[in-house]
Amino acid sequence: MRRLSLLVLLATLAGCSGGQRAACGPAEAVVENASSLAVEQLYLAPAAGAGWGPDLLDQTPGLPAAGRMPLAIGGPGPWRLRLVWVNGRAIELGGIDGCRTRHIILRDDILTAG
């Protein structure tokens, strides 16, 4: 009887998940600047939000070429990222999964997350 109750409970819990993705908490990714220029501004915002919010490099000297830095991602997202080089050129990437993204690489012509 106990075994049957446990099986019923497990089946019920499995049915409640309905294939939904489990929530994740804040995570940390590494941003790597593999471009030839330093980055002077970095923004991370929810994909559905308006605007970019504060510059995450505002209190730092920036992210030099060949530099790396941690980036806190506040939950599953999706998120969008904007980087601005010292020459004013900008690059953006959307659809960042805060639960899975652990490495973001900036090159001269592309920004990738994985």
Q: Which residues are CB-contacts of 66 (< 8 A; sequence separation ≥ 6)?
A: 33, 34
Quick check: is 35 in a domain? yes
Domain count, the chain: 1
Alpha helices in the chain (DSSP H): 2-17
Look up the CATH number of the domain holding residue 106: 2.60.40
Q: Compute the half-sphere exposure of residue 111: CA atoms within 13 Å on the CB side of its CA.
A: 19
Predicted structure pTM score: 0.77
Quick check: is 19 in a domain? no
Digit-coded pLDDT (tens) for 60-89: 889 999 999 999 998 898 999 999 999 999
Quick check: is 70 in a domain? yes
Quick check: is 92 in a domain? yes
111: burial class by Cβ within 10 Å (0-12, 13-18, 19+)? middle
Query: Residue 69: what pLDDT?
Result: 96
Query: Residue 22: what pLDDT?
Result: 57
Quick check: is 86 in a domain? yes
Quick check: is 14 in a domain? no
Enclosing domain of residue 54: 24-113
pLDDT in tens, the chain (114 residues): 433 333 333 333 333 333 344 578 788 999 999 999 999 999 999 999 889 999 999 988 899 999 999 999 988 989 999 999 999 999 999 999 999 999 999 999 899 998
